[in-house]
Structure 1
Amino acid sequence: MIQSNLILLLLPILSHLLFQFSSSSEITVSVSSRSIPKSGDPITVKWSGIDSPSELDWLGIYSPANSTHQNFIGYIFLSSSPEWQSGSGSVTIPLINLRSDYQFRVFHWTESEINPKKQDHDHNPIPGTKHLLARSETVRFEPGRGPEQVHLSSTGNDGEMRVMFVTHDGKESFVKYGLTRDKTGRVAGTRVSRYEREDMCDTPANSSIGWRDPGFIHDGVMVDLEDGKRYYYQVGSDSGGWSTIYSFVSQIRDSTETTAFLLGDMGTYTPYSTFVRIQEESIATVKWISRDIEAIGEKPALISHVGDISYARGYSWLWDNFFNQIEPIASKVPYHVCIGNHEYDWPAQPWKPDWSYSIYGKDGGGECGVPYSLRFNMPGNSLEPTGTRSPPTRNLYYSFDMGVVHFVYFSTETNFLSGSKQYEFLKNDLSSVDRNKTPYVVVHGHRPMYTTSYETRDAPFRERLLANLEPLFVENNVTVALWGHVHRYERFCPLNNFTCGSSGFPVHMVIGMAGQDWQPIWQPRQDHLEDPIFPQPVRSLYRGGEFGYVRLEANRERLTLSYVGNHDGQVHDVVEILASGQVFNGRANMIVAGGGGGGGGDGGVVISWYVKVASILVLGAFLGYVVGFVSRSRRDAASEAKWTAVKSEDI
């Protein structure tokens, strides 16, 4: 009996030893190239010689190459390769320059070794690293190729444009710019900043599993720009190399037009799984905005991102992925942001009143706003101390004019109550807007003041937002209030204290549908909370479940907001606000208040414009539902996945 038990105990060990003995000398991992020119370029990884492969065998992606087994940046299951059961296979993935070398490692992993306590944010088990089979040679990026992660922003001053980028060594770098591609003779210097692991406030941001060298962040300003001209520019240096040539259209003083692209909660995509959920739909958002930027030609524009930017959540390489992903659009138009919970919140944050215990948690992954503060540089000089050695949090609240719109940004994660610095800024800013110059005021904040999603955790926050800021918005005739946080699109009537008005009240829009796909359910009936019936209140005029963004077009007569769906790139909802304050569902010039005629009889029947609009909305909602249902059904059928609601803490 003792011998039998001993044999049973030794069988797994012997099996593993036999597997290693029979396979280790034959297993190989190779790469298509040991040198990569620039971020986004692909590399093919091949493996062979695996006897008795498991469906859970996986390829680990490591950078730096000397990282411990547990500190991978991502993984791909070998079973994703069609020929994996033969013990051989390959994958091709694009790599992002993390300013360090890469290595690929193959591990054996079986179902019996899954640890249910070690899961990623998507509730998938983290792969085990006990059985290393083979590792590749190291791969590096070629030096001298110039900076990366180029993005623009407005300084708030006429005739200027800010450009930021990243280098690996922080050596002196410049911005060359001019009015033609072959004459970029004007030069601007840059200042350099960076942050360290010790600046992070909590895990995983300050741990070996989440921290990676962020490089050096350069910040330069192009000055004395002529109005409405296309400028060409390069960044870099002779010693470190120059970037490709980019271009943008400079802003126009006292312009009578404004174009902007508005989005929230986009995140980034990686071609591998990692410790947190990635946002594949962000690819489509960038694609369609890029199309729209090309379509407007020689007009200036901007992008507004209302919080939850990269969803790095303490895993620093995701910031690198994000900036490389947005570079095709952010290098062409200014990219403006406001802070969200996933950039900032951590357990010891300075402002955390008693009522917020369920609101401000650890969503920032220990970053405490540091990458957000240094990787972006928005107008103004707002900042709040972190209470640690970390630099103060910047880019919290600011404003600027572009054309006929006054854009305002504020933080829902720091003190906004009456008497706070932020409240005083909003009060003074909104009351001093020159409505002759900018007839429209658009305010951005992350957590919404109004939503019909079933998001009960934020209820104490919304009560205080309504009590403290809504009176300012109404008193100062804010045109539109834009929010994220809820990963759906929702547009409300002009609102004050949950009451619809015909004009003069702000139109609230939730636009957190740019990429993140944790979807809270809509608010159910109060007396039947468990039943999947979600009535749409009168104040909510349009609710959409598709990913997308909002396009803003304004002139002195009207401001038009159009919801563009990622599934087809088409407009699915439109609201138009006249300079007088009147609000129309759809475009005002589409609305006809007509009358019938006819000789004799009882005359024509007058069909009111709102009946026509209601008919259009009903038809549009039905068609939108059908298109959305078919699109979603096809997507679900292709992936054989089912949609499930998630808990509110995943927002």
Structure 2
Amino acid sequence: MGPVHAAWAVLGLAPLLVLGIPPVWTQPEQVHLSYPGEPGSMLVTWTTFNKTGSTVEYGVMGGRLFDMAAKGDATLFVDSGTEKRRMFIHRVTLTGLKPATAYVYHCGSDDGWSDVFSFTALNDSSSFSPRFALYGDLGNENPQSLARLQKETQLGMYDVVLHIGDFAYDMHEDNARIGDEFMRQIQSIAAYVPYMTCPGNHESTYNFSNYRNRFSMPGRTESLWYSWNLGSAHFISLSTEVYFYLEFGLELLFKQFEWLEKDLQEANRPENRAVRPWIITMGHRPMYCSDDDQDDCTKFDSFVRRGRNDTKPPAPGLEDLFYRYGVDLELWAHEHTYERLWPVYGDKVFNGSKEQPYVNPRAPVHVVTGSAGCRERTDRFNPNPKAWSAFRSTDYGYGRMQVVNTTHIYLEQVSDDQYGKVIDSIWVVKEEHGFSAWF
């Protein structure tokens, strides 16, 4: 082969040679916020695929841009799929924020900066009336409610988002690339308001590793269970999955139960309950539902509610615990529908009165909102629900909640199928909280 032909041969291979060089991944992506639980703080989490610095530069909106900076660190997360893909999860906590003040920020390092985002520091006053979006079961494919939630978040309609389990469908798939894409999708929500989470059954692969590594919730349980305060409410996020994936350790079930009881005891101390009388829980699989899918509520009569007798020792359920400590409101997902219940305990209805069932109810109020949109579509209902089922819808959608004050909470469900129409709403009114309120 002559020199000219050899040169052409090398040039012909050039595209292949270029393709053989891995890209440099120093650009921040998948930016999301969470509330660490300490007044005046916010936690920023993001991802890069090469190791870089972890810095957030920020400033008060309308003031000098990026005149403050905070540093954090990055942890290496190696997905357990066949490719063993590596990513660096960066976490930086901002402190000393002024309540109800808007901030502008970006994150990254001199190797690359994110877009510019903004957030409003949470008001730490117990008289604050926070507004929430709440939903579960939002996927990368068919995320029907996502666009409406993105727009409403950017319009400033929410202070916090509660995602009640099941993300991406599923984060581990395609060697965790689906998880990456989902986190990019929710960035337009989660980079602007705290995105608070709990694990669902779709996170279980590789012992919930994608969930535990990607999210940054309060406490030291890798986001599996934790609590925090906002306004006049004490929020508890829990893992219902400890009742189902015993191969990852039965001790987790008992450890969570012990933690829950201690947390509820603390929340019920008179001086604490006087300031934050509402106790609100969120967990993925509901204690009650009337979906006709032979799933948890129908097949198992809810391990979460009644516990398990096939373990040694038997595993306690959560209904009696929550009732004993006067939990007011329980938020669930998992069923790809919306269902509001009458106040219920022990499978029986305990309305406040016939005319005003949610005024001084004599049992916790349950809401199931798992129809945000995913590839599994929506579920069907049992045509003959039990007496505790008050309202049901198979529309795609999500919930809204406002903890108005110490006596009033407002809840509504939005139908995305009906272009944002509010299809259900209630006021929960309680003049007394705690176990004694049931009588």
Pairwise CA RMSD? 2.5
The Cα offsets for residues 510-558 of structure 1, whole Å up to 9 and x where unpaired, read as 11101124444322xxxxxxxxxx1233211111011111001122131
1:368 aligns with 2:218: no
Q: Which residue in the other structure is 1:230 paired with?
A: 102
Does the 8 A contact of 2:378 with 2:395 survive in 1? no
After TM superposition, list the pairs within 5 Å mapping 1:175-574 onto structure 2: 175-180=56-61, 182-197=64-79, 200=80, 206-208=81-83, 213-238=85-110, 240-256=111-127, 257-268=129-140, 278=141, 280=142, 282=143, 284-296=144-156, 301-312=159-170, 314-315=172-173, 316-344=176-204, 364=205, 367-382=206-221, 394-415=222-243, 420-433=254-267, 434-458=272-296, 459-460=299-300, 462-463=302-303, 465-467=305-307, 468-502=317-351, 503-516=361-374, 517-523=376-382, 534-556=383-405, 557-567=407-417, 568-574=419-425
CA contact (8 A) 2:227 2:237 kept: yes
What is the Cα deviation at residue 406 of structure 1? 1.3
Q: Is the 8 A contact 2:240 2:304 kept in 1?
A: no
Give 3-state SS (helix, strand or coil) of 2:426's partner.
Answer: strand
**Structure 1 residues 310 and 65, CA gap change in structure 2 (3 angstroms):** farther
The alignment partner of 1:432 has SS state of: helix
1:253 partner amino acid: D
Match runs of 1:63-212 below 5 Å? 146-180=27-61, 182-197=64-79, 200=80, 206-208=81-83
Correspondence list, 1:19-30, <5 A: none
Q: Deviations over 1:299-319 (max 9, x none)?
A: x71111111112125311111
Q: Distance in 2 between matches of 1:378 and 1:180?
A: 26
Q: 1:314 to 1:293 in 2, by over 3 A?
A: closer
Q: 1:308–1:339: 8 Å Cα contact kept in structure 2?
A: yes
Q: Higher relative contact order at CA 8 Å, sep ≥6: structure 1 or structure 2?
A: 2
- Structure 1 residue ranges without an equivalent (≥5): 1-33, 35-63, 67-98, 102-140, 201-205, 269-277, 345-363, 383-393, 524-533, 583-651
Deviations 1:218-248 (A, max 9, x none): 000111001110011111122x122121100
Encode CA deviations 1:90-126: one digit per residue, 9 max, x unaligned: xxxxxxxxx966xxxxxxxxxxxxxxxxxxxxxxxxx
Query: So what's the TM-score if we normalise by structure 1?
Result: 0.55
Q: Output the CA distance in 2 between the equivalents of 1:326 and 1:452.
A: 30
Q: Residues 170 and 217 of structure 1 are in contact (CA less than 8 Å); yes or no, is this contact kept in structure 2?
A: no
| Greater C-alpha Rg | 1
Equivalents in 2 of 1:537, 1:214: separation in Å?
49
Deviation at 1:570, TM superposition (A): 1.7
* AA aligned opposite 2:363: F
Distance 1:456 1:294 in 2: 38
CA distance in 1: counterparts of 2:126 and 2:166, whole angstroms:
31
Aligned length: 380
How many Å separate the matches in 1 of 2:363 and 2:165? 24
Does the CA-based 8 Å contact 2:171-2:210 persist in structure 1? no
- Partner AA of 2:224 in structure 1: L
State the alpha-carbon separation in 2 of the partners of residues 332 and 457 from structure 1. Answer: 35
Q: CA 1:464/1:321 → structure 2, altered by over 3 Å: closer, same or farther?
A: closer
What is the match of residue 12 of structure 1?
A: none
Report the CA distance between 1:295 and its aligned residue. 4.2
Q: Structure 2 vs 1, CA of residues 250 and 492 (structure 1 numbering), >3 Å: closer, same or farther?
A: same
In structure 2, distance between residues paired with 1:244 and 1:489: 35
- Per-residue deviation at 1:425? 1.2
Per the alignment, do residues 237 and 417 of structure 1 end up closer, same or farther by CA in structure 2, a change over 3 Å counting?
closer
AA matched with 2:184:
N
Structure 1: how far apart are the matches of 2:136 and 2:86?
24
Displacement of 1:186 = 1.0
Q: Which residue of 2 aligns with 1:389?
A: none
Contact 2:410 2:427 (8 Å CA) reproduced: yes
The aligned amino acid for 2:241 is E
Alpha-carbon contact 2:130-2:230 (below 8 Å) kept: yes
- Separation (CA, whole Å) in 2 of partners of 1:581 and 1:220: 40
1:456 is paired with a residue of what secondary structure?
Answer: coil
Partner of 2:8: none
Q: CA deviation at 1:508?
A: 1.0
Distance 1:572 1:581, change over 3 A: farther
Greater Cα shift, 185-194 or 414-423: 414-423
Q: Which amino acid aligns with 2:216?
A: N
Please list the CA deviations of residues 10-35 of structure 1 after superposition, one character each: whole Å capped at 9, or x if unmatched: xxxxxxxxxxxxxxxxxxxxxxxx9x
Counterpart of 1:74 in structure 2 is none
Residues in 2 aligned to 1:313 and 1:341: alpha-carbon distance in whole angstroms: 12
- TM-score, normalised to structure 2, is 0.81
Corresponding residue SS for 1:225: coil
Describe the shift of the 1:419–1:286 C-alpha distance in structure 2 as closer, same or farther (beyond 3 A).
closer
* Deviation by residue 1:418-438 (Cα, 9 ceiling, x = unmatched): 981111111121232222222
SS of alignment partner, residue 321 of structure 1:
helix
Q: Which amino acid aligns with 2:82?
A: S
| CA distance, structure 1, for counterparts of residue 295 and residue 121 of structure 2 | 43
Post-superposition Cα deviations, 1:406-461, rounded to whole Å, max 9, x if no partner, equal 11111111159998111111112123222222222211111111011124343336
CA distance in 2, matches of 1:550, 1:407: 17
CA contact (8 A) 1:477 1:504 kept: no
Please give the alpha-carbon distance, in whole angstroms, between the structure 2 residues aligned to 1:161 and 1:463: 35
* Residue 464 of structure 1, CA deviation: 5.3
Query: Structure 2: which amino acid aligns with 1:492?
Result: L
